[in-house]
Amino acid sequence: MVVSLNVGQLAYTFAITCTALSAYLVFKLGLTSRDAAQRNAQFRSLQLHFLIPYLAILLAESIQAPYLYVLYHVYGFLPGQISILYVVGLTMNVVSTVLTVHLLSRCDRRMLCLCCVGSGSLACLLKFSDNYLILLIGRLLDGFSAALITSPFQQWYGHEHVMSFDFPKEWLTSTFTLLSLVAGFLSVCAGFIAEFAESISSVTAFPFFFAILFQIAGGCYIMRVWPSNRLEPEHRIPLQEQFVKAVAIFKKKPVVLVLCTIHTLFESTLLIFIFVWTPLFVHSKAVLGQRISYGVVYAAFMSCALLGSVSSRLYQKHVMATRVICASSCACLVALVLAVFVIPSSPSDWSTYLFDILLLLFCLFEFAVGSYLPSMNKLQTDLLPPEHRSSLLALLRIPLTIISCGETISSSMESNAFEFCWNAEMDRDATIPATDSLLFPHVEFARRPLAEKMLYVGRPLTVRQEDGSLMSGKVEVVCGENIFLSNAGKLELIHLRQVVPDTELASSDVKVPLGDPSSLCDAASDLMFGKCEHQKLEAKDLVEASLPPVDIIKVGQWFELQDVRNPCLIRVVQVVANRGGLLTVSHGQRQENVFFTNERCHELEWAQRDLQRYTYDGDSLNLLKNARKNAVSSHVFTYSVLKEHRFEVGMMLEVLDISNGGIFYAGYVSEVLSPYYFLVRVAQSIKGPAPEMLCHRSHPYIFPVYWCARHNIRLTPPEDYGADEFSWNTFREKCGLTKGSAPEHCFDLPRVQRKFDKLRNVEVLDVRTHDVMYPGKIVRSLRHLVWVHLCHYANATPPTIYSISSGLLFPCGFAKQHSIRMQPATRYVTMGPSLSGDRFNLRTLCTSRQTPVFLTPKKRFLSSVWLSSDLWLPIVYVRKSCFAGPFINPERFRQIPNRYRPGPMPSIIRAILSDLISSAYKPKQICELLMCAKDSTLPQMIVKARIKFKKHRTRVECCEKVTEFCGWLRGICILLDACPDLFGINNSGCESYCNTLREIPSMSTTAHAWTVNTHATTQKSIPRRMRRIVPGSSHNMPSVVRKKKPVIQIYEPRRPLTRAITHKEWRARSAAAEERKRGDSSGTSSLDVLSSGPDAPRAQSAIDQASSSQKTNVNGEEDGLMILPLVESNPLLWTASELGKWIMKTDLSSVANILEKEEIDGEAFLLLSLTHCMENLGLKLGPALKLNALIKELNNVCRERFGVHAKH
State whether residue 12 is helix, strand or coil.
helix
Structure-model confidence comparison of residues 527 and 551, the more confident one: 551
pTM for this model (two decimals): 0.64
Same domain for 210 and 338?
yes
Classify 1030 as helix, strand or coil.
coil
Sequence-ordered list of residues with C-beta below 8 angstroms from that of 988, at least 6 positions apart, any chain = 289, 290, 291
Query: With 80 as the cut, is the pLDDT of residue 1086 above it?
Result: no
- Sorting pLDDT into bands at 50, 70 and 90, what band is 1030? very low
- Mean pLDDT of the 849-865 span: 76
For the ranges 889-898, 906-915, 1078-1087, which has the lowest average pLDDT? 1078-1087
Indicate whether 1056 pLDDT > 70. Answer: no
Residue 1037 within any structural domain of the chain: no
Closest to 991 (Cα-Cα) out of 285, 12, 418, 425:
285
Of residues 496 and 1116, the one with the higher pLDDT is: 496
DSSP state of 776: E
CATH number for the domain including 1068? 1.10.150.50
152 and 184, same domain (yes or no): yes
Q: Has residue 865 been placed in a domain?
A: no
pLDDT of residue 1181: 83
The torsion angles phi and psi of 1074, rounded to 5 degrees, stand at -70, -35
Which of 383, 412, 441 corresponds to the end of one domain? 412
> Is the pLDDT confidence value at 1046 over 80?
no
Mean pLDDT of the region 513-530: 43
Whether residue 882 contacts residue 989, with contact meaning beta carbons closer than 8 Å, is answered with no
Give dist(CA 1152, CA 1146) in Å, integer.
Answer: 10
Say yes or no: 540 and 556 in one domain: no
pLDDT digits (tens, 9 = 90+) for 1122-1134: 567 888 888 888 8
Domain extent for 606: 550-638
Region 704-726: mean pLDDT is 89
The backbone torsions φ and ψ at residue 1002, rounded to the nearest 5 degrees and listed phi first, read -70, -10
The answer to whether residues 575 and 553 touch, using CB atoms and an 8 Å cutoff, is yes
Asked whether residue 1010 is domain-assigned, the answer is no
Residue 422 lies in a domain: no
Contact predicate 550/580, CB 8 Å:
yes
For the chain, the domain total comes to 7
Phi first, then psi: what are they for 241, rounded to 5°? Answer: -70, -35
Q: Domain check: are 253 and 397 in the same one?
A: yes
Measuring CA to CA, which residue among 382, 203, 346 is closest to residue 796? 203
Q: Assign residue 678 the CATH number of its domain.
A: 2.30.30.140
Q: What mean pLDDT do residues 122-139 have?
A: 89
Residues 1169 and 1187 in one domain: yes
Nearest to 618 by CA among 589, 653, 660, 651: 589
pLDDT for the residue numbered 1094: 42
The answer on 466 and 349 residing in a single domain is: no
CB-based contact 688:734 (threshold 8 Å): no
Give me the mean pLDDT over the 966-990 stretch. 89
CA-CA distances (angstroms) from residue 1046 to 159, 575, 1032, 1138?
104, 68, 21, 19
Strand partners, 602: 560
Q: Does residue 469 sit in the same domain as residue 612?
A: no
- Which of 454, 455, 543 is CA-nearest to residue 497? 543
Evaluate if residue 520 carries a pLDDT over 50: no
Which is higher by pLDDT, 1074 or 1102? 1074
Residue 801: is its pLDDT beyond 90?
yes
Q: What is the mean pLDDT of residues 324-334?
A: 88
End-to-end alpha-carbon separation of the chain, Å? 65
Looking at residues 929-946, what average pLDDT do you find?
A: 89
Q: Does any domain span residue 555?
A: yes
Highest mean pLDDT among 388-392, 832-836, 1159-1163: 1159-1163
The 3-state DSSP class for residue 672 equals strand
Is 810 contained in some domain? yes
Q: What b/e sequence results for 844-860 when a residue is b if at least 16 CB atoms lie within 10 Å of its CB, and e otherwise?
A: eebbeeeeeeeeeeeee
pLDDT at 292 exceeding the cut of 80:
no
Alpha-carbon distance 890 to 919, whole Å? 8
Q: Are residues 291 and 266 in the same domain?
A: yes
Please indicate whether residue 389 or residue 25 has the higher confidence score (pLDDT). Answer: 25
724 and 769, same domain (yes or no): no
User: What whole-number distance in Å separates Cα of residue 479 and Cα of residue 484?
Assistant: 9
Q: What is the mean pLDDT of the chain?
A: 79
Among 20-24, 190-194, 252-256, the least confident range: 252-256
Residue 713's nearest CA partner among 782, 659, 667 is 782
The DSSP line for 568-619 is TEEEEEEEEEEETTEEEEEETTEEEEEETTSTTEE-TTSGGGGTTT-EE-TT
Residues in the chain: 1208
One-letter amino acid of 555: V
pLDDT value at 318 more than 60 = yes
pLDDT, greater one: 269 or 788: 788
The 10s digit of each residue's pLDDT in 868-885 is: 777 888 899 999 889 999
- Residue 189 burial by CB count (10 A; 0-12/13-18/19+): exposed, middle or buried? middle
Q: Are residues 262 and 144 in the same domain?
A: yes
CATH number assigned to the domain comprising residue 394: 1.20.1250.20
Angstrom distance (rounded) from CA 434 to CA 310: 60
Do residues 1133 and 1178 both lie within one domain? yes
Find out whether 1089 and 523 touch, Cβ atoms under 8 Å: yes
Shared-domain flag, residues 766 and 715? no
Local confidence band at 28 (pLDDT 50, 70, 90 cut-offs): confident
Asked if residue 154 is part of any domain, the answer here is yes
- Identify whether 229 is part of a domain: yes
pLDDT at 1103: 38
At residue 95, the pLDDT reads 83
